[in-house]
Structure 1
Amino acid sequence: MAPDPTIPSTANSTLESSLVPLTSNHSQNKHPLCEGRRYHHYRSGRYLLPNDEVEQDREEVKHLMFLSLTDGRPFLASLSSPRKVLDLGTGTGAWALEVGDMFPDAEIIGTDLSPIQPTWTLPNVRFYVDDIEDEWVNGDDFDLVHARHVMPFLKDPGLMLQRTFEHLAPGGWAETQDIGHQVWCDDGTMSDDFAVAQFFDEITSAWGTFGADLRVGPKLGDMMRERGFVNVSTTVYHIPVGVWPHEPRDKELGVSFRIVIDMAISALCGAIANVRRWSDEEREAFADRCRRGLDQPSVHGYMKCYFVVGQKPE
């Protein structure tokens, strides 16, 4: 994933295993700190966001928000009884545990750079420390390979889709779920200087300097087809930015998304400042503008979320 210039890299595939079981005392738990936030140790610098408790809480809110989008379905793939499932970039492990609970006879594997998953788990769910941008060593013949909030942060999502294709069982499914990182508005209530829209423009530009495309979501369907997937479909959900909707379900989504964005502003403004070479005062002023923008109910902005599904031929 995209490197953070503020965190020294310790990546060395000759020194560390590509697939490490999660244990409470493993060296991968020795996370580096930067400006009061904690980041992953394994392949340090591959991912810009922290992995501390604040970020884990934010991920849990996102998990519930995505389940609300889909009426409680953890995936859209046409799969009724998966036998073997891989969750790439599992984060807190919430999605893997959700699927493991739904399908107790299935084997669920979750991998991530950070060993932040619970040490207790379901009997059919296992977590590993792994860099998914390396060669995969975590099995084959998966019925479902799932990646949520992963593809926009990779330097080569096409390669990830190719590896997914190769590790799927015939007839198996791949599914990506990603926020589009762009604020839209259909009724003219959003001005060109709306701070939240500028925030996502800035972070997209900053992450782009490391080779990642935060707005890759709508492109993933074609990328799947190019790599041999069939039955490819893209479902687009709208998530309100803020509390402006009147319909209760949309308002609840907007409240959740407001929390998700607000909790990320500090860390991501730091990444923007590093690229733009802003002073601390400039960074804080921009962050304050972003937070005020989240509390403007007169602006009817929303973001698109892309669920892209494809199947490996039988």
Structure 2
Amino acid sequence: MAFHSDDEMDLDEHAEWDSFPNVEAGPSRSGTSENMVQAYQTQYPWEGRDFDNLQSYVYPPRRPTTPSSSISEFSLHSSVEMRVFREDNGRIYQANNDDYVLPADQAEMNRLEYQHYGLKARQGDKNYLAPFPMVLQGDDKRLLDIGTGTGIWAIEMALEFPHVEVLGMDLAPVQRTEGVPDNCHFQVDDAALGLPFSDGYFDAVHARLVIIGIRNWKSLIQEVIRVTKPGGLVVFVEMDALLTMDGIPRDEQRIRAPGFTKFSDYLERAIGTRGLDVIAGGTTIPRLLSQQPILGQNRCYASLPMWPWSNDPILRKTGEIIYGDSLEIPETCRLMIVDACGLSMQEYDNLKDGFLGDLGRPGAEMTIPIWHNWAFKSL
């Protein structure tokens, strides 16, 4: 399958996929978020997956008062001194980086699983669009995954490339502890403070959806280039902050899905107010990459349907999975938007209800804008 700079994915060239149940009328818009999640899981059961008892994660302590004295329970190495969590409004958050304000609890880990498998479906049931096999051939290869989250991408890459040493790096020790191959390891560190590795250490570096934790993209990209070997691959899979409907003018979007567009506007405002980059995926990353010593720069747009509104099989499958992610977005972003935009909890509940009410609405072709940027470090 060929991709060209700035081209959208050619869906017709993707491999076949296992069938999912059809949803002719779209997901229900009634009931609470919790009921919608339960209805979704009933309609779209994943063989072999238990959504209520995901014991493969380390569940953070409820309200620690001191830094963790031992990291052996996480099977991790860390150079971050303050390895603690905090509780706010009933959710658990990491306490290492004030910029990253999304939760780090079980509900968020479940959402990240939907996100991972939705991305994978959109990519033709693969974990990448960039040419990882090209640079991971041969012995003594190393791969770094920045913002690894649950660690699922790093684990699956380690299984696909058993000869490669894969390291997943994240702010919080929430990675899986079961089913981790011997060539996969995890480390707690803050990429925003620099990468604690020597020059040219990795054959490939991957960062995916870290927009909420990065203020200085120039610094991060420079660090990624530094720790990559000459000829190695650097990959950024990142979104733009404004949730949208591809190809539909914003004024028309407000008519089709007023609750969705209002929530999207507040989300973009909250991210921007915190000093984060709202156009990281499509504009900032490719611009900054082009200023580095690189070769073969590519950019590909592959947005994620937020519910199964498309008749295209790849997009529909993606939407069926990402719908589970979409249902949880309002609660995931609650404190970030409330704090940045000065909303009361009741005002935010109304905003949330409007967003959920538009999920599944005919004509509301909602998408998460995702950009794949990659390049090779110059020899």
Q: Show the counterpart of 1:198.
A: 262
Q: Distance in 2 between matches of 1:237 and 1:25?
A: 35
Q: Distance in 2 between matches of 1:55 and 1:199?
A: 19
Q: Does 1:212 align with 2:276?
A: yes
Q: Show the counterpart of 1:40.
A: 94
Q: Does 1:133 align with 2:167?
A: no
Q: Give the partner amino acid of 1:195.
A: G
Q: Deviations over 1:205-231 (max 9, x none)?
A: 112122111321112112101122221
Q: Show the counterpart of 2:127.
A: 74
Q: Distance in 1 between matches of 2:368 and 2:93?
A: 27
Q: Distance in 2 between matches of 1:208 and 1:190?
A: 21
Q: Show the counterpart of 1:249.
A: 314
| DSSP-derived class of the 1:166 partner | helix
Q: Distance in 1 between matches of 2:99 and 2:75?
A: 22
Contact persistence 2:144–2:168 (CA under 8 A): yes
| DSSP-derived class of the 1:47 partner | coil
Give the TM-score, by structure 1 length: 0.86
Contact persistence 2:303–2:367 (CA under 8 A): yes
Please identify, of 167-176 and 268-277, the stretch whose mean Cα deviation from structure 2 is larger: 268-277
Alpha-carbon shift at residue 197 of structure 1 (Å): 2.4
Report the identity percentage.
23
Q: Deviations over 1:208-263 (max 9, x none)?
A: 12211132111211210112222100011132232322233322222322221221
Q: Show the counterpart of 1:5.
A: none
Give the TM-score, by structure 2 length: 0.72
Q: Give the partner amino acid of 1:211.
A: G
Alpha-carbon shift at residue 28 of structure 1 (Å): 6.4
Q: Give the partner amino acid of 2:99.
A: R
Q: Give the partner amino acid of 1:150.
A: V
* Structure 2 counterpart of 1:162, from 222, 225, 242: 222
Q: Does 1:186 align with 2:251?
A: no
Q: Distance in 1 between matches of 2:363 and 2:175?
A: 39
Instruction: Specify every segment of 5 or more residues in structure 2 that has no aligned partner in the other structure, as ranges.
Output: 1-64
Look at both structures and tell me which one has the larger radius of gyration over its CA atoms: 2
Instruction: Specify every segment of 5 or more residues in structure 1 that has no aligned partner in the other structure, as ranges.
Output: 1-9
Q: Does 1:105 align with 2:159?
A: no
Alpha-carbon shift at residue 63 of structure 1 (Å): 0.7
Q: Distance in 1 between matches of 2:131 and 2:296?
A: 10
| DSSP-derived class of the 2:322 partner | helix
The CA RMSD measured in Å over matched residues stands at: 2.6
Q: Deviations over 1:130-171 (max 9, x none)?
A: 011113213442111000001454101111111111111010
Q: Does 1:296 align with 2:361?
A: yes
Contact persistence 2:121–2:317 (CA under 8 A): no
Alpha-carbon shift at residue 194 of structure 1 (Å): 2.2
Q: Distance in 1 between matches of 2:218 and 2:114?
A: 28
Alpha-carbon shift at residue 78 of structure 1 (Å): 2.4
Q: 1:72 to 1:267 in 2, by over 3 A?
A: closer
Contact persistence 1:239–1:253 (CA under 8 A): yes
Q: Distance in 2 between matches of 1:22 and 1:131?
A: 19
What number of residue pairs does the alignment pair up? 298
